[in-house]
Structure 1
Amino acid sequence: TGDVDTIANVNASSTTITMNGDYYISAHFREIPLDC
């Protein structure tokens, strides 16, 4: 949510964030259950 225009891929486990000024960055992680 929020301004994600400078994030390469918001759904990737590893991504790039371009910072052209002061930003507040936070991340929330959740486990996705595996279907066995």
Structure 2
Amino acid sequence: MYEIEIKAGRVEHEIEIDAYTGEVLKHERDLDH
């Protein structure tokens, strides 16, 4: 499984991807205050 964190401005994305199938298992989005 891959865990990816991306920050774009004030928005942070946390994504988990299955290493074998490429399926997105989780995608959370948080707004930084």
Determine which structure has more spread, i.e. the larger CA radius of gyration.
1
* Larger strand proportion of the pair: 2
- Whether TM exceeds 0.5 here: the answer is no
1 or 2 for the larger relative contact order (CA 8 Å, sep ≥6)? 2
Q: TM-score, normalised by structure 1?
A: 0.31
